[in-house]
Structure 1
Amino acid sequence: MSYRPSRSTARIATSVMIVATILGLSGPAFAAGIGISVGAPESVAVGQQVEVKAVLSEDGVPVEGAEVALTYKATLGGKTDRVEIASATTDETGTAVMVYEQRANDNGEMQIVYLGPGTDPVDPFEFTIAVEKGGVQLYHSESGVKIPFVNGTLVILVIATVWVFISLSAVLLARVGKAGIVEDEASAESGSMWIGALLAFAAIFTAVGMVIVFVRAPLANTDLSHPGEYETHIDEYDRTELAHVGDLDPYVGFGLKDESAAQTGDPVEDGKVLSFEYACAACHAPSGLGGVVGPALIGEIGSFNNFVEEVRDGPKGMPAYSEATLSDADLQKIYDFLEAGR
């Protein structure tokens, strides 16, 4: 028995398709064909609140409900990646407003990145915001305990008093050296002034030198809150750059845990990288010839099956590596590296 759809059924199906198409067109815009434009200041100063506007449109129509992020490039622990510093969602005009506080003394290349909805790629908008010299000092070092009436002026007075007594002592030493008399029962000899004079010069030179260093130390006493107003301000050392992130990236070490580093296609080179990653080199030396703790592996590991058994069991205090931690495929690469060193 065959079934033939009636005309009413066909009409219903057509209507459903039309409604679905209309709903699809009226829903949130997807990534295809979206353009991004940005409004941002040309330059800012450290400590300033910065407003960045991103406008999204598709074929001249504003895109509402799209999520975008403001990012810049940062380097931390030998790894360079883009850091998100602000994000926002576009309104009915297709505009997303993002505000952040300028903390770094150099932004580098900044980007507006499209986050969704939709999975089709959208080219990020790249731009730069220059950071002016100067700005406010964001961080100030403070002592853990505050003692009343003890401040920089009092410390300088105490130090000056101490060195006044040292200087007086040096003068007295010079006078003693000049007029000193060594009396004996039978004779008297005039002393020399050179010893006292040298001691006096050394004491005065040390006192004056330490005061100068204390007062004029450029890095310790530079007033960073008013750069350019004092001779001790050093442009080359403005402030220590800090990277402030929105999302924390997992720490992957200094390239040793990068999976691509051990997938070059050369088993010997891959095995060398893996020997560092799994701390083989820490005990057995980078070359595998033995270290302070671990014995030599070159020429001593035997067959591959014997090598796998030793690694899995962890003999003589060595940590045991399960297959979930260190696969047989990676063990084969380490084995090839050790065999190549014979």
Structure 2
Amino acid sequence: MRIGIAGCGRIAERGYVPAALAAEGVTIAGFADPDGERLDRCRRLWAEEGDEAPGFADVASLLASVAVDLLVVSAPADHHEALAAEAAAAGVRSFVEKPPAPDLEGARRLADLDPQPLIAFNRRFLQGAELRDSIPAEGWLELDLELRFRRDSWGAHEAHDEALLDAGIHLIDLACFLTDSAPIAVRGAEVKHERADLEVELARGRARISCATDRSHREAIRVTDRSGRTLARSHWGGIGGRLAGLIGRPDPLVVSLQRQLEAVGVSLMDPPHFVQQGYPHRLATAADGVAALAVVEAARRSAELNGAEVTVEQAEATA
């Protein structure tokens, strides 16, 4: 699979380039970014272990100059819709980083594109792959999900999304994915730029979500049944996470993106196959992005109403 990368910020530099190098059957055919320094940095990283890949100042030039099977959209969220639309106009599917759009209407417009984009909700390929087989297919579920990190340690060039969009949206999608159910309502939301807490009612459960972008790294997931019995749990970060990095364990970000790229490659086969050896967990669709942004908007409204319950708008797009 030949991919183009639109946006050469930290997620491309630290995530997609090393993931493409590690992924089976994936090659980067070109990069696009208006910032020449960032563009050259990613090209050098790819050339160190891969092949030479040309760089372009804009996506239109990339799509006109090299053949790609997939466009990875890793620019700031304000540019996602326009870049994905350019890819769709060229007949190329896009793989859009989270958040898929700044708001629900933007996510819906993404879902209207043809070919419809895929969304890079990478926790499906981390905690999702780790926990989902331990969760029964039926019955009520209670979930507690936490994701926190220090935004400053990431060193993003431009993106400074609120915690709800930056971290919370991962947990919203993961809750829907682990329960295999749609969100119904949000209550008890408290939303600040660097922190957010909310409770999401799902078709077969309830998820309590807490996220922060100004605290030390920690990711904790616990799934219980109605009686309180633990069905699945996961804990990442803290001292254990730092020690794992020091002894050379693979970066979870790179692992998750590698798995996603390989899964996309399988999905693009003719006929398509969505089950891949080692991790039979589905990719996130544009419709999943719509559902996640609908929860985000309901959480914002709940916070404005001092935590009152707000119904989640149902997604009109289909996968």
TM-score where L is the length of structure 1: 0.16
**Bigger Cα Rg:** 1
Q: Which structure: greater strand fraction?
A: 2
Larger fraction in helix: 2
